[in-house]
Amino acid sequence: MRATLLATLLVGVTATACTSGEPLDDKQRGNMPPRTAGTAGTSAPASPAPRAASPLVVKIDNVPGARPQTGLDAADVVYAEQVEGGLSRLMAVYATRLPKAIGPVRSARESDLELLRQFHRPTLAFSGAQKKLLPLIDSAPLQTALPEERTSAYYRGTDRPQPHNLYLRPQRLLTATPGADALTTGFRYGAAPAGGTAESTRTVRFPQARFTFDWSRDQRRWLVSMDGTPTVTTGGQRVAASTVVVQYVNIRESRYHDYLGNITPYTETVGSGTAKVLRDGKAFDAAWQRPLAKGGTEFTTADGTPMNFAEGQVWVVFARA
């Protein structure tokens, strides 16, 4: 885990709450050696150094059988990415709030590693990964939190079948809330720029999934719906974003596939491109730039000025350019 990432890669609540997740089966685990809790590498620890803030990142199941999710409303940033079969999966980043439980927890993908390089050794909670991907996760600059590593931090719910019932108790994983300094995303927050076009709804489509964001004047938030159904948590809280970013990126085939042979998409988040930024009931044309994996993403308006986001939860949906 101390090694540099290869190339440019990359819960609590009661058992009666709605919960979900994925076991690490033999196809995922393979013959990997036992892991030490919180670390996957075997190199000697480095000399002590001042520790920068590190967020908690959780891979969250997003198929219909995994809904409603738990703790999604507490995330600072939610990334929506395409996975096998044209379906979607969420990656939620927690820094300013830690809910009692998060889930359902599911598996990681190769492009997650590139996206996570923007943070300082984030803690990644995930249920497993494709067997050949595990060595790359081991060498990435992050801290793993697999169920077999941190057994007390996870539990299985009883109201859903596996793999949609694995939950994380984040307070058993982190000793303190990371804080806003851990959000090294490159996002800027502040007053809305001039211009923009009035917009009340926006839908982003994947081959087998779709996200809809409806502006609520009363809440001054974009109400989230997935596959035509309002997104609520197990506690009945409607999930709503202050800012929505539709980021147009290159999505190509990766070197990996699932057990059915479906090729895993690779979402490229280093580079540049265009975006639509939704805030305050308006849509803004924007450009994005992330020259290096170890840096955040800068968004600018059409005239080149920095694009400010509204304070609150941000959703970033990676759409095919």
The domain that holds 87 is classified in CATH as 3.50.90.10
Please tell me whether residues 168 and 214 are part of one structural domain: no
Which amino acid is it at 308?
Answer: N
Please tell me whether residues 251 and 316 are part of one structural domain: yes
Task: Give the residue from 18, 234, 246, 28 showing the smallest Cα distance to 128.
Answer: 28
Please tell me whether residues 136 and 260 are part of one structural domain: no
Please tell me whether residues 178 and 231 are part of one structural domain: no
**Six-digit token string for 101:** 């439980």
200 domain-assigned = yes
Domain endpoint, select from 159, 182, 205 = 182
CA distances from 14 to 47, 74, 87 (A): 41, 18, 29
Please tell me whether residues 161 and 222 are part of one structural domain: no
Contact 292, 186 (CB under 8 A): no
> Which residue intervals of 96-249 are DSSP H helices?
110-116, 134-139
Please tell me whether residues 79 and 177 are part of one structural domain: yes
Please tell me whether residues 214 and 168 are part of one structural domain: no
Please tell me whether residues 204 and 155 are part of one structural domain: no
The rounded distance, in Å, linking the Cα atoms of 184 and 222 is: 23
pLDDT in tens, the chain (321 residues): 434 433 333 333 333 333 333 333 333 333 233 333 333 333 334 444 445 789 999 999 999 999 999 999 999 999 999 999 999 999 999 999 999 999 999 999 999 999 999 999 999 999 999 888 999 999 999 999 999 999 999 999 998 999 999 999 999 999 999 999 999 999 999 999 999 999 999 999 999 999 999 999 999 999 999 999 999 999 999 999 999 999 999 999 988 777 667 788 999 999 999 999 999 999 999 999 999 999 999 999 989 999 999 999 999 999 999
User: What residues make up the domain containing 312?
Assistant: 188-320
13 DSSP β-pair partners: none
Contact 245, 275 (CB under 8 A): yes
pTM greater than 0.95 (yes/no): no
**Six-digit token string for 144:** 């793993």
Long-range contact pairs involving 203-209 (C-beta distance under 8 Å, separation at least 24) = 204/80, 204/246, 204/317, 204/319, 206/82, 206/86, 206/87, 206/88, 207/82, 207/85, 207/86, 208/85, 208/86, 208/87, 209/62, 209/82, 209/86, 209/87, 209/88
Please tell me whether residues 204 and 314 are part of one structural domain: yes
The domain total for the chain is 2
Please tell me whether residues 72 and 139 are part of one structural domain: yes
| Strand, helix or coil for residue 201 | strand
**Six-digit token string for 25:** 């089966």
**What torsion, rounded to 10 degrees, do the Cα atoms 266, 267, 268, 273 define?**
150
Query: CA-based angle 293:106:269, to the nearest 5?
Result: 20
131 domain-assigned = yes
285 domain-assigned = yes
pLDDT at 51: 54
Residue 218's contacts (CB-CB under 8 Å, 6 or more residues apart) are none
Please tell me whether residues 145 and 222 are part of one structural domain: no
The rounded distance, in Å, linking the Cα atoms of 32 and 178 is: 31
Unique residue bearing structure tokens 């709450």: 17
The rounded distance, in Å, linking the Cα atoms of 105 and 60 is: 5
5 domain-assigned = no
Domain endpoint, select from 131, 156, 182 = 182
pLDDT at 38: 37
